[in-house]
Structure 1
Amino acid sequence: MKKFCKSPRKMVLLTAIFICAVIAFQIVYAAVIEPGSEGDPLVTKSYIEEVMMPKIKQEILEAVKGSSGSPEQPLKFEVVSVQKGQKLIGGAGTELILRMGKATVIATQKGGLADTTQGVDLPNGVPMPANHLLIIPVDDGRGFSANEDVLVMVKGTYRLE
C-alpha cells in the first residue's frame, strides 16, 4: 500500500484545508443560530441587542404613551412672592426654599415640614430657616405663614390663603 501523504508539503496543505473548513463551518453555524435559542443559550451581546433592546424600547414607548403627557407638579422651582400675613399651603411632595424675609412653619398633628438640609422635622410655630430645602410630605394643610413680605422658591403644588 502506498501512503496517502508522502510529502510533508501535502500534509501541511491538507491540514490547512481542514482548518479552513472547520472555521468556515463555525462562521456559518454562528450566523444561522438564533440568539437566545437552545443553540445559543448564553446571554450574549447579540441577544441583548437583537432581543432585549427592542423589548425594552417597546415597553418605554408604551409607558410614555400611557402617561398623560403633563406632570402633576412643575419640574422647576418657581419664585413666589408671599405678602405679610398670607399663608402658603403646599401639596404632598412640595419643596420650599425661603430666600428672603421671615416666616413661621405651619404644621399639623401628623408632623411638620421636613428640613432636608438639617435633617430635622420642623414643628408648628418655629421660624422657617432661610436657604434650607424643606419638603411638605403630606397634603394636610402644612406650609408657612409670612411674618413679613417673603420670597420663596417652590417646586410642586401650593395655594395662597
Structure 2
Amino acid sequence: MKKEYKITAGVIILSGSVLLGSLLDLQVTGAGTTPGTADDPVVTKSYVDQQIQQALNGGGGGNTNPTKPTQPSQGADEVKNVALKPGKILIADAGTEFIVRSGNAVIYTEVSSGVADLTDGKDLLNGETAPKNHLLSFPREGRGIQVKEGQTSNLIVMVRGGYTIK
C-alpha cells in the first residue's frame, strides 16, 4: 500500500504543477503590451533610417519632419584656405584657429603672451616658427602669423573663424 500511496501522491503533485504552470503562463502572456499602442509603437523603416542619419550627422534626432531636414550651421565652423603673400600678416580674431599647410610661417604678436599650439600642447611666442599641420588657437585679437623672412612663395593656411590681412 505504501507503493500505491507514493504513486498517487506523485500523480497529484505532477498534475497540480502542470495545472499551476499553465495558469501562470496565461497570466504572463496576457500581461504584455499590444504592438502598435503608445506603450509599444510601430515605426517605419524610413523613420528609423532618418533617425540614424541624423544621429550620424550630429543632428541629435530632434527633427521628426522628413520634409524639413536639419541644415548644418555656416559661419564660425566654416574652414577657408587663405593664401598669404610675403610681407603680409594674417591677424586672427579671438577664438580663431589656423593650420599652416604649406610654406614657412612665424608667429606674430604685439603682446608678450603667445599662441596656443594645440597639437604639441605649448605656447608659441612672437617670432617662433609655426609648425606645419599643427592646430594653432588664437585666444585674443592682435595675434597671427606671417610669412617667414626670406621666403618668396605664398603661405597657405586653413582658417576657421574670423581674420584680417595687414
Q: What TM-score results when the alignment is normalised by the length of structure 1?
A: 0.60
**CA deviations over 1:48-102 (Å, ceiling 9, x no partner):** xxxxxxxxx9x8527xx9x995233234x43321011111112233222223223
The percentage of aligned residue pairs carrying the same residue is 29
Between the aligned partners of 1:30 and 1:22, the Cα distance in structure 2 is 13
1:132 is aligned to 134
1:145 is aligned to 146
Between the aligned partners of 2:18 and 2:12, the Cα distance in structure 1 is 10
2:47 maps to 1:71: no
Q: What aligned pairs does 1:8-157 form with structure 2 within 5 A after superposition?
A: 9=11, 11-31=13-33, 60-61=61-62, 70-75=73-78, 77-109=79-111, 111-138=113-140, 140-147=141-148, 148=151, 149-157=154-162
Residues 73 and 15 of structure 1, relative CA distance in 2, 3 Å threshold: same
Residues 30 and 68 of structure 1, relative CA distance in 2, 3 Å threshold: closer
Q: How far 1:20 moved relative to its partner?
A: 0.9
Between the aligned partners of 1:141 and 1:68, the Cα distance in structure 2 is 33
1:36 is aligned to none
- Larger deviation: 23-32 or 147-156? 23-32
Between the aligned partners of 1:110 and 1:126, the Cα distance in structure 2 is 12
Q: CA RMSD in A?
A: 3.4
The structure that is helix-richer by fraction is: 1
Q: How far 1:25 moved relative to its partner?
A: 1.4
Between the aligned partners of 2:156 and 2:16, the Cα distance in structure 1 is 87
1:43 is aligned to none
Residue-pair matches, total = 128
1:53 is aligned to none
SS in 2 for 1:74: coil
Residues 13 and 103 of structure 1, relative CA distance in 2, 3 Å threshold: same
2:46 is aligned to none
Q: What TM-score results when the alignment is normalised by the length of structure 2?
A: 0.58
**CA deviations over 1:94-113 (Å, ceiling 9, x no partner):** 22222322333122437311
